[in-house]
Amino acid sequence: MRRVLHVGPCNTPGGMAKVIEILSQNPPNGWVADTLDSHSTKGTIAKIKAWRKAKQFLWKNAHKYDIIHIHSAADWSYRRKLSLGKIGKKLGKQVVFHIHSGKFDKFAVGKGKIKFQLHRFKTVVLSNYWKEKLEPIIGEVSVVENPIDPNLQTEDIVDKKPKQILLLGRQDPVKGHSFAFDVVRIMTNDGWNLKATGTLHNEDGIEGLGWVTEEEKYSLLRESDVLIIPSQYEGQPLVMMEGLAAKCKVVASDKIPGLPNCVVSAEFNNTEDWVNKIKNSEEIDATKYVKDHGIKQVSQKWAELYNGLVS
């Protein structure tokens, strides 16, 4: 059996950690997968310690693996992950550098060293949009889409709660919680309500749930009528795929590139447009999109990429 090591924010709430979890638990045929956490949410010092610990692990254990699979955002995440990728290459390993960030293009522009640094790895992006956007900046890339968690059960979806809106994600300005609250305040008189994770904010029509378990998240997806993604930027939001799989109507910011036809696009920070799009949203058949992002299809793409590197 071949072995792959996934390196990234394995124990940090968020989409990247979830992708690592799905891929490591569902490796391609003929492969086994381990994970290496390189991140901490407990402040800068803890983050540096986690990074150094990951470096030490690689120096001692990289020989056990055929491929080191690095998962990276932009900014300092990229710089830390780059050093981990270099260790893998120095030890003679094949390295996959997997870019998840929705702002990597803005980060990379004007930084000539990025193209020089990444050419030594097998660089992977999330969509054809990102391939077209990033190749002129960082060089050749391959495309492998994010997978939908096979543990998201959708067979028991019978009745949605009408006018229940769902917002999933950490409370970060780029995720749009405050804007979502403004939108829903306009809609509460018509019976609409919002359930939002990542926040404890509560008022009439708005319930902040804080961080929820995966089981709770999937329950919310199965019962909610509309999933909203008012983000300023995203690479390829996993919650969008989960919402479509759970038969939610999905309304997403037009700042998110490459939205599929089964998602309604609303103008970023335009309250009136969001209210209108949510109120008039209708379920669009997402069967093909969901199937294309199933773990079987995505795992097959990783099998081809991994096997091509080690053959």
pLDDT in tens, 73-94: 999 999 999 999 999 999 999 9
Angle at the Cα of 44 (from 42 to 49), degrees rounded to 5?
A: 85
User: Which residues share a beta bridge with 2?
Assistant: 31
Q: Would you state the pLDDT for residue 177?
A: 96
Nearest to 65 by CA among 118, 25, 7, 12: 7
- Tell me which of 3.30.450.20, 3.40.50.2000, 3.40.50.300, 3.40.190.10 is the CATH number of domain 161-292: 3.40.50.2000
Whole-prediction pTM: 0.92
Q: What is the DSSP string of 48-94?
A: HHHHHHHHHHHHHHGGG-SEEEEEE-SHHHHHHHHHHHHHHHHTT-E
Domain 2-146+294-310 identical in fold to domain 161-292: yes
pLDDT digits (tens, 9 = 90+) for 101-121: 999 998 988 777 777 789 999
Task: Given CATH 3.30.2290.10, say whether it is the number of domain 2-146+294-310.
Answer: no
Alpha-carbon distance values, 96 to 5, 70, 87, 211 (Å): 10, 6, 13, 31
Token pair listed for 81: 């992950």
If you ran DSSP here, which 8-state letter would residue 42 be given? S
Q: What is the average pLDDT across 234-251? A: 94
d(CA 252, CA 157): 22
> How crowded is residue 61: how many other Cβ atoms within 10 Å of its Cβ?
13
226 pLDDT higher than 80: yes
Nearest to 8 by CA among 64, 59, 62, 78: 78
d(CA 239, CA 15): 8
User: Which residue ranges make up each domain of the chain?
Assistant: 2-146+294-310, 161-292
Q: Would you state the pLDDT for residue 13?
A: 82
Q: Would you state the pLDDT for residue 92?
A: 96
pLDDT digits (tens, 9 = 90+) for 19-53: 999 999 999 999 999 999 999 989 999 999 999 99
Q: Is the Cβ–Cβ distance between 226 and 248 less than 8 Å? A: yes
164 pLDDT higher than 90: yes
152 pLDDT higher than 90: no
Token pair listed for 67: 């491929």
